[in-house]
Structure formats: structure tokens, C-alpha cells
A and B are shown apart, each in its own frame.
Chain A
Amino acid sequence: MKHLLSIDDLGPVGIEAILDLSESFSEVTQREIPKVPALRGKTVVSLFYEDSTRTRISFETAAKRLSADTMSFTISSSSVKKGESLLDTVQTIEAMGIDAIVVRHHAAGAPHRIAQWTDASVINAGDGRHEHPTQALLDCFTLRRHRGPSLAGSRIAIVGDIRHSRVARSNVKAFAALGAEVTLVAPPTLLPESLAGWPATVSYDLDAVLPDVDVVYLLRIQRERAEASRFPSLREYTSRYGLTVERAARLKPDVLVMHPGPMNRGVEIAAEVADGPASLVREQVTNGVAVRMAVLYSLLGSSSAYPRVDGMRPTHARSTDAPKEGAR
């Protein structure tokens, strides 16, 4: 696999391979020296056309823990301000000799376009309303750790602004690929025009869905959406779709609560719930580093002579010293 642009690039087998790999890196991140030399000499550039703290820092931490060099490119302090085109920017970065570009862009499809322009590996760190595949992977990893090796039969409600959410798109695909039953919960105005092809059911009524679910995944509600008349007010949104303390009390005892951050405490999630025992929010952030290490390692750790899409699982049928299989 050369790029990670969409969850579709992986499929169920590829997702599980990344999650298995993440287990190894999760152990690395817990060491006293949380660093391995795996990607020594590789250079990873983060190219962020949109504000982000956690995703950018998470990727940079992941790259550093693999001993890769990192460069950061943010539009506020770059020649994009002077009107440089995306193509020119990418070509400039590439001319410096780099191995991977981590892209966040407000336009859906920008990472795909960049992938056509460059020999480097491109990782989609969020493009418009389209996809955010590493978020989906870290959420799957976090859930798998709590709900056993498989998500088969897990009932997951994704609640909030599905319409504008790239997290929802990637997560629905990834959760469904691992066998979970996904329900989207939102007011009609915050759902996409068409849900054809989405492996999920839809409900407008959070209270009807909550008693049956194993996982509540809340999405960030942006104030601008209220101003755009998607819903009357934040208060009204909270009263119908927020995970308030009262609603949380009606959940199953072993339910898990997730949020991709940044949270609007008191809007889509009550502070008491966000900090409560069911919340996996901090764990999601921690796991993000290990999962992004796994993604970087998958893309940069193998030569192009050994493409692997489905062959990423360790196969150990033979028992001689490994190097002879390729590096004589």
C-alpha cells in the first residue's frame, strides 16, 4: 500500500492488519524510551491547510517515535499566504526529498490529487467532509481493546453532525467492516442528502436508540451550523441529542462513550460524562499515536518491491532466520 487516502484503501483485512500492528507500537509507546529506529532516515512532512492540534501533534509524535525526521508546514506561516498553488507547494516540498506527506485540507479529494503529483506516500489527515481514516483506525483500535478482538455484533450509535463530518464517513465504513452494527442519530438537517451505500441505519430519536447500544460515539457540533439554521439553538440541540447526565444514566452499565475531539462540553456531551468512567476520550488520543505509527510504518517500512495490501499480516509458516527471504 502506497497511500492511505480512505478507509476503502484498506478493507477489513487491511484494517485488522493495521490494528494488529498498532498493538506492537502501543507497547513501544509505553516504554521508558518510547522510540524505535524503524524509520531512521525517512522524512515525514505535515501539510495542514486547516487548523488542527491533536492530529498534527499525534502524527509528528508518531513519526518521531519511529525515528523519522519531521517537518511541519502550516499555511499561516508559509508562501500559501502569498498565493502559491497546492501543486507548487507539493512540488516544492517534494524537491526537498521526503518520504511521506500528511495532508489536511478543507477540500475533499485534495490528498487524492496530491497523491497523483508526488512519489511520496500521502496520508489523509482529514479532507473536507470526506474522510479521516486514521481517526477511524484509532477508534477501532480503542474499541477493539475494550470489546475483544472483534467488533462483530457491537451496536454503535454515531450521534451528531453526520452531514459535515469526515469522521462519521470514515468511522461508519471502518466499524461496519469490522462487523459492528452502526446507527446514525441526528436531526434530518444534519444528515447527508443521501445515505445510499452507507452501511448503517438511521434514527432521529436518540432516546429510542440509547438503551440498546454498546457504544455512543458523539461528534462535535459547530456553532456555525446553528447560525446556518441547521437547528434552532445549541440548547435545543443538547436537549434532543446531547449526552446529558440524565441520558447517560439510562445507558447500559458497560456502555462506552467516545468523541473524536475537540469536545464542546455541555453541548454534545456533558462534562460529567466526558470525564466519567465510561469515557474513552483520553484513551483515543493516547492510542492515536500508536495507530499512526502503524500507518506510517506500513507505508514507509516496506520497499515498493514488496507491495502489501492484504499481505500485511505476519506469516510465519517457515522457521529459518528471516533475512534470507528477501535480503540476501
Chain B
Amino acid sequence: MAAPGAHPASETSTPPDGGILFVQRARVLTAEDLRRAHTRIAHEIVERNHGAEGLVLVGLYTRGVAVARRLAADISGFEGVDVPVGVLDVAFYRDDIGRRSVQPLGPTEIPVDITDRIVVLVDDVLYTGRTVRAALEAINELGRPQAVQLAVLVDRGHRELPIRADYVGKNLPTKATEDVRVRLEETDAGFDDSIEVWGPPDAAPVAPPGPEVGA
């Protein structure tokens, strides 16, 4: 396992709005931490739903898909049940179409009829909640699930809608000016699994990784 900081990324990069250089402020979760978080979430999903029957994991493009597949593999490992994994692109349901360039990330594909099943939406970062709102609308058009739950690796706060996650890898208080970067082997070639906080260099560093703050 690589030590924190020993990854091939450069130490600075340009933020989306251009201009200021972003620097890495903290590596919040390492590959080992992420593995444990996945395992815990997988167990919580099965525990909450009294088994894995009738579940569908639906990953949101792009990294939510990788997370959903990992959760399904974990559940299959300890529960012996193969939970179907779907992929969902919420682009056409976003509320900011026309305000910015919203590009679809890939075709939606859900291998089973979601009606009367328990759908667990899976994403990497929960932020404003607008992506999840769009996902709920998209799910609604695909069928009528018995229930919809939400699993995320990181909840970074700053919600703009009344949405909360049922399963959280890590609660990570951030500033809106900061950037939470999730890297997963499946989606980010050349990187170790990690979650880092990046931000403008002058800002004070965020608290170092501590014990879990609830879940």
C-alpha cells in the first residue's frame, strides 16, 4: 500500500474555474480505509434490509458505478447472494440543464425491473444533493421501487435539498471552495484508491483524519 502522498498526481492542479492553483490539503482516506468503508457499508445495507434478497444496487456515473460493483462483490462474499447492479445516468434529469453544459456520461442500464424492489442508489460524494434528486426522478420513470436508499463514500455537507444518505463511508466537513477528490482503480488509472481534500493554498488545512463521526 502506498504511503499518503506517494501517488503519481502532481501536487498542484488548476480548479475548474481556472486561475488559482489547488494544492492537496489532506488525504482523508487511504486504500485500506476505503476497503474497510466499503465492507462496513455492505454489511449495513444487508443488516438494514434483513438480507440481500430483493435489493438492487444502482451506481451513479462515473464513480458510483465502481462503488456499487465493489459493494455487490462484498455482499456476494459474505452473504452468498449476487445483488444485481445497475448503472444510472442522471444527466437528462438535472435541474441545471441550460445553466451549464450538462453531458450524459453513458447509457442507463438496470438489469432487473426495479418495481417492488429496494433500490440502493450509490455515489461517491454527496454534496448539494441535486444529483440525488435527479436520480430519484430518473428512478421514478423506470419503475416503482418498494423503497429507495442512498449510500455514499463521502458526505461533504453543503446540502441544498432535503436529502440525506442512509449509508456513509465518511462524514467530511469541507468548505465550498474545496474539492473532494475520490480516486478509484476502476475509474482513475494510475492512482491508488484514495479520498483527498484539495483547496487553495492559503486556506488553513482541514483536520487530519480522525475517528468516524457517526454513519
| Shortest Cβ distance from residue A121 to the other chain B in the assembled complex, whole angstroms | 12
Chain B, 120-149, CB within 8 A of any chain A CB = 124-128, 130-131, 137, 141-142
Closest B residue to A325 by CB, please name it.
Answer: B16
Contacting chain B: which of A25-33, A102-110, A126-134, A172-180?
A25-33
State whether the Cβ of A218 lies closer than 8 Å to any Cβ in chain B: no
User: Interface range on chain B: under 10, 10 to 19, 20 to 34, or 35 or more?
Assistant: 35 or more
> Is B100 in contact with A327, judged by CB distance below 8 angstroms?
yes
Closest B residue to A293 by CB, please name it.
Answer: B92
Contact A39 to B96, CB < 8 A, known contacts A321-B128, A323-B128, A325-B16: no
| Shortest Cβ distance from residue A48 to the other chain B in the assembled complex, whole angstroms | 26
Interface size on A, residues (CB 8 A): 39
Contacting chain A: which of B32-40, B74-82, B173-181, B205-213?
B173-181
Chain B, 171-190, CB within 8 A of any chain A CB = 176, 179-183, 187-188
Closest B residue to A34 by CB, please name it.
Answer: B141
What does the 1/0 interface line of A10-29 toward B look like (CB < 8 Å)?
A: 00000000000101101110
- Select the residue from B103, B108, B109, B125 with max chain A CB neighbours within 10 A: B103
Chain A, 292-328, CB within 8 A of any chain B CB = 297, 300-303, 305-306, 308, 311-314, 316, 318-328
A38 to B179, CA, bound (A): 27
| Shortest Cβ distance from residue B6 to the other chain A in the assembled complex, whole angstroms | 19
> Is B101 in contact with A302, judged by CB distance below 8 angstroms?
yes
Which residue from A38, A319, A327 sits with its C-beta under 8 Å from B63?
A319
Chain B, 90-115, CB within 8 A of any chain A CB = 91-94, 96-109
State whether the Cβ of A37 lies closer than 8 Å to any Cβ in chain B: yes
Which residue from A23, A26, A31, A308 sits with its C-beta under 8 Å from B142?
A31
| Shortest Cβ distance from residue B110 to the other chain A in the assembled complex, whole angstroms | 10
State whether the Cβ of B89 lies closer than 8 Å to any Cβ in chain A: yes
A190 to B68, CA, bound (A): 57
State whether the Cβ of A36 lies closer than 8 Å to any Cβ in chain B: yes
Closest B residue to A308 by CB, please name it.
Answer: B101
> Is A326 in contact with B100, judged by CB distance below 8 angstroms?
yes
A302 to B125, CA, bound (A): 24
A27 to B92, CA, bound (A): 12
Chain A residues near B127 (CB-CB < 8 A)? 320-321, 323-324
Contact A28 to B131, CB < 8 A, known contacts A318-B179, A319-B181, A328-B176: no
- Select the residue from B107, B176, B182, B188 with max chain A CB neighbours within 10 A: B107
Q: Could you list some 10 contacts between A and B, CB below 8 A?
A: A24-B104, A38-B93, A302-B102, A305-B100, A313-B103, A319-B181, A320-B180, A321-B127, A322-B131, A323-B96
> Is B104 in contact with A321, judged by CB distance below 8 angstroms?
no
Chain B residues near A24 (CB-CB < 8 A)? 89, 91-92, 104, 106-108
> Is A316 in contact with B125, judged by CB distance below 8 angstroms?
no
> Is B105 in contact with A301, judged by CB distance below 8 angstroms?
no
Chain B residues near A312 (CB-CB < 8 A)? 101, 103
Closest A residue to B89 by CB, please name it.
Answer: A24
| Shortest Cβ distance from residue B187 to the other chain A in the assembled complex, whole angstroms | 8
Which residue from B101, B128, B137 sits with its C-beta under 8 Å from A306?
B101
A257 to B142, CA, bound (A): 35
Chain B residues near A322 (CB-CB < 8 A)? 94, 102, 131
| Shortest Cβ distance from residue A321 to the other chain B in the assembled complex, whole angstroms | 3
Chain A residues near B128 (CB-CB < 8 A)? 321, 323-324
> Is B93 in contact with A323, judged by CB distance below 8 angstroms?
no
Chain B residues near A23 (CB-CB < 8 A)? 106-107
> Is A324 in contact with B99, judged by CB distance below 8 angstroms?
no
Closest A residue to B95 by CB, please name it.
Answer: A327
| Shortest Cβ distance from residue B189 to the other chain A in the assembled complex, whole angstroms | 12
Closest B residue to A300 by CB, please name it.
Answer: B98
A35 to B102, CA, bound (A): 17
| Shortest Cβ distance from residue B153 to the other chain A in the assembled complex, whole angstroms | 10
